[in-house]
């Protein structure tokens, strides 16, 4: 019995007709559908099925390797994302840009500094190779070839951080610069991570020289200083450009920790400093900065000088710093914002010996005052200034101490000049002539022109007597009610006769007198009202301005605005500073005539302050009608000096009489003259 042939189901499923696929009658779907089916994923064998107990929960080495790879990939991605998102800050830390401003005496020695950060930037091009080499040998010999970070150093630093130890030495110079310039000093993982990313980015975007320059200018060196320039000044009293390799090696040791290596702190720190100094010099040989023979010359530790006292301006320098700062800001080249950032070297015109002499002269004169036991000595104030004929302010006395009394007496504009103002009346008359009748030509005058010096003399205008607001004729009064009769203008100046000079002011014209005073150097803002008393000094110039105005006569009639700064630089680069120009206020002839009169006034009292002085000296005592102020202004060919003494309670600004000052029976009007003479004898060697 024959059976029907068995069908090949595989062939039946795959071929039919012209070879096209045919649907399977059993499954009811096409082969194409079967072939596109997504394969099933195996479930991870975890917990592990073929293990029992705790071993079920231990991953296999394949599983562990996979996890580590995934973790590394995630960490790498995270770091790359963080790096991409990290931007170098546009602004540096405030202390990384803030510098102090250093002020110098006229002889170039340091006077004071201002600013809360003791730092002065120095371009890398001006830093000697030995200094750079010492720093690199001590901190990061491979600086110029590394990528900005040190993996081993970071690992050591992190381990020390975890253990609570010192993290110094775990960073490259780039990382330290990033920390100084952009970050804080906190020792945390997040700060270290930021430091790492920023260091790499900074290294990629900035040149190595720029990074090293920033590092040298922002690093802490102890003794209140940031930056290699201020460190050189603080430890050796010199510029960084003058350091030798031995001194540089010591300063480089401070980067490890200034408090650990300053030899002035203790014997232990001294020993530690010597050891590290020697090690750095040896390292400089290894790195090729020094040859063995050069190293052999440095056998004695370069002892730094003793720590300087706080040089923040106090005493008289405080007043000088304020004057210099004000001058810089008013002269225009430096904005307030730029000045506040610091970094300026300000070379003033102030002479240290003259400042000391003026201060001592005031101190000696004030020894007679006893404000605790004598009421007349309370609120007694003294201001003084000395100025060269070319406008340089040589010295000022601003008060007892700028940290005790910030108000500068030499710059006060609250005290009437009194008869010390009369030389400007005289100069105006000699320059401009007088007008005795309205509408008639002005009449020239000379030192021999005669005026009535009678006491209680009525003041006249070209139209007639001068009447005050109360309907009374204004009259002039001489000191001591003395009548001088008719006398020349020169003699009126010599004897300080008030009535002829009061009338002379009216004849010249008070506006012209005011212009003459301004031309000499008195500020218009301090000129008093144009009434007859204007000629006798109702104006209130400062001692500085009074000295400058008298200095115009010493300069032969040329006036130069007083200035206190000779030159300025910032981080070693000169800053253009406009120099005041000289303008002719009076002819040499007029100035000579005024000087002749003031020389005579000074010599008039042979027992007075001029006794023993050079015969060329000229000057004038100034008194006020109510004796609330006393002045002396005088000059030689080298300088003009003005001294003012007055009494005023600064709480209510009420002027008080000088009567009884220093125990005198009356107002001691020679007090400022004694200060002037004592000062002048000291600076001219005539003691």
Segment 229-252, tens digit of pLDDT:
989 988 998 999 999 999 999 999
d(CA 522, CA 540) in angstroms, rounded, equals 9
Residue 25: per-residue pLDDT: 47
* Segment 450-482, tens digit of pLDDT: 999 999 999 999 888 999 888 899 999 998 889
pLDDT in the model for residue 40:
60
Q: What pLDDT is stored for residue 276 in this prediction?
A: 96
Query: In this predicted structure, what is the pLDDT of residue 291?
Result: 95
Q: At 583, phi and psi to the nearest 5?
A: -125, 145
pLDDT at 607: 47
* pLDDT single digits (tens) 285-333: 999 999 999 999 999 999 999 886 555 566 899 999 999 999 998 887 7
- Mean pLDDT along residues 60-73: 68
Helices 245-253 and 228-236: crossing angle, nearest 10°?
110
pLDDT surpasses 60 at 12: no
Residue 37 has pLDDT above 80, yes or no: no
Percent share of the chain, pLDDT over 90: 51
Confidence at residue 573, expressed as pLDDT on a 0 to 100 scale: 85
Instruction: State residue 391's pLDDT score.
Output: 97
Architecture of domain 104-113+316-417+540-687: 3-Layer(aba) Sandwich (3.40)
Q: Find the angle CA(208)-CA(212)-CA(214) to the nearest 5 degrees.
A: 120
Tell me the sheet residues that pair with 451.
487
pLDDT band with cut points at 50, 70 and 90 for residue 137: very high
pLDDT digits (tens, 9 = 90+) for 548-579: 999 999 999 999 999 999 999 987 789 999 88
* Residue at token pair 């212009």: 515
- Mean pLDDT, rounded, for 504-519: 97
User: Is 583 in a helix, a strand, or coil?
Assistant: strand
**Sign of the CA dihedral with 458 first, then 670, 526, and 581 last:** positive
Domain 123-296's class? mainly alpha
Is the pTM higher than 0.75? no
pLDDT of residue 398: 94
Backbone angles phi, psi at 471, to 5 degrees: 80, 20
Average pLDDT, the chain: 83
Q: What are 618's strand-pairing partners?
A: 635
- Arithmetic mean of pLDDT, 81-106: 66
What are the boundaries of each domain within the chain? 104-113+316-417+540-687, 123-296
Q: Is the pLDDT score of 165 beyond 60? A: no
Instruction: Give me the mean pLDDT over the 180-193 stretch.
Output: 54
């Amino acid at each position: 019995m024959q059976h029907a042939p068995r069908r090949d189901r595989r062939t039946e499923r795959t071929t039919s007709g012209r070879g096209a696929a045919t649907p399977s009658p059993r499954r009811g779907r096409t082969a194409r559908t079967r072939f596109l089916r997504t394969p099933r994923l195996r479930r991870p064998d975890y917990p592990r099925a073929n293990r029992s107990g705790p071993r079920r929960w231990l991953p296999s080495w394949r599983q562990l390797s996979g996890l580590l790879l995934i973790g590394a990939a995630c960490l790498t991605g995270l770091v790359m994302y963080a790096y991409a998102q990290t931007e170098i800050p546009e602004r540096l830390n405030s202390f990384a840009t803030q510098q102090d401003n250093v002020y110098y005496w006229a002889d170039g020695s340091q006077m004071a500094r201002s600013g809360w950060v003791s730092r002065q930037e120095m371009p890398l091009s001006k830093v000697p190779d030995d200094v750079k080499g010492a720093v690199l040998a001590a901190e990061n010999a491979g600086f110029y070839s590394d990528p900005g970070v040190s993996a081993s150093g970071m690992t050591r630093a992190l381990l020390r951080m975890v253990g609570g130890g010192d993290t110094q030495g775990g960073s490259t110079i780039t990382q330290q610069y990033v920390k100084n310039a952009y970050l804080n000093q906190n020792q945390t993982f997040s700060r270290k991570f930021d430091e790492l990313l920023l260091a790499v980015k900074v290294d990629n975007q900035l040149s190595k020289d720029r990074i090293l320059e920033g590092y040298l200018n922002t690093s802490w060196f102890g003794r209140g200083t940031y930056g290699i320039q201020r460190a050189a000044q603080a430890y050796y009293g010199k510029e960084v450009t003058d350091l030798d390799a031995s001194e540089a090696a010591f300063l480089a040791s401070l980067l490890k920790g200034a408090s650990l290596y300053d030899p002035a702190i203790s014997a232990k720190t001294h020993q530690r400093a010597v050891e590290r100094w020697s090690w750095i010099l040896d390292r400089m040989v290894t790195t090729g900065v020094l040859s063995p023979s050069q190293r052999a010359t440095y056998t004695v530790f370069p002892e730094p000088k003793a720590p300087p006292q706080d040089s923040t301006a106090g005493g008289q320098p405080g007043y000088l710093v304020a004057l210099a700062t004000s001058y810089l800001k008013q002269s225009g080249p430096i904005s307030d914002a730029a000045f506040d950032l610091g970094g300026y070297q300000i070379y003033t015109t102030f002479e240290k010996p003259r400042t000391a002499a003026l201060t001592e002269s005031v101190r000696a004169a004030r020894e007679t005052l006893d404000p605790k036991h004598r009421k007349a000595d309370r609120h007694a104030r003294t201001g003084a200034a000395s100025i060269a004929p070319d406008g340089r302010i040589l010295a000022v006395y601003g008060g007892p101490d700028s940290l005790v009394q910030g108000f500068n007496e030499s710059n006060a504009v609250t005290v009437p000049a009194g008869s010390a103002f009369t030389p400007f009346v005289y100069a105006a008359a000699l320059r401009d002539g007088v007008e005795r009748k309205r509408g008639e030509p002005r009449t020239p005058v000379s030192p021999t022109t005669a005026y009535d010096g009678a006491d209680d003399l009525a003041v006249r205008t070209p139209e007639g007597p001068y009447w005050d607001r109360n309907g009374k004729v204004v009259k002039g009064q001489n000191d001591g009610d003395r009548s001088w009769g008719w006398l020349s203008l020169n003699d009126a100046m010599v004897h300080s006769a008030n009535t002829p000079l009061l009338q002379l002011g009216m004849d010249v014209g008070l506006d012209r007198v005011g212009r003459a005073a301004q031309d000499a150097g008195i500020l218009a803002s301090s000129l008093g009202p144009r009434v007859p008393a204007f000629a006798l000094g109702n104006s209130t110039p400062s001692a500085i301005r009074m000295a400058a105005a008298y200095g115009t006569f010493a300069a032969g009639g040329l006036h130069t605005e007083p200035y206190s700064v000779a030159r300025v630089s910032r981080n070693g680069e000169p800053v253009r500073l406009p120099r005041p120009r000289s303008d002719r206020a009076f002819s040499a002839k007029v100035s000579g005539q005024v000087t002749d009169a003031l020389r005579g006034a000074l010599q008039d009292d042979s027992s007075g302050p001029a006794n023993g002085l050079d015969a060329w000296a000229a000057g004038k005592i100034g008194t006020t009608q109510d004796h609330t102020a006393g002045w002396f202004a005088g000059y030689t060919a080298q300088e003009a000096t003005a001294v003012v003494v007055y009494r005023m309670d600064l709480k209510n600004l009420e002027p008080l009489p000088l009567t009884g000052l220093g125990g005198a029976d009356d107002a001691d009007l020679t007090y400022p003259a004694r200060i002037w003479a004592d000062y002048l004898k000291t600076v001219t060697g005539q003691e």
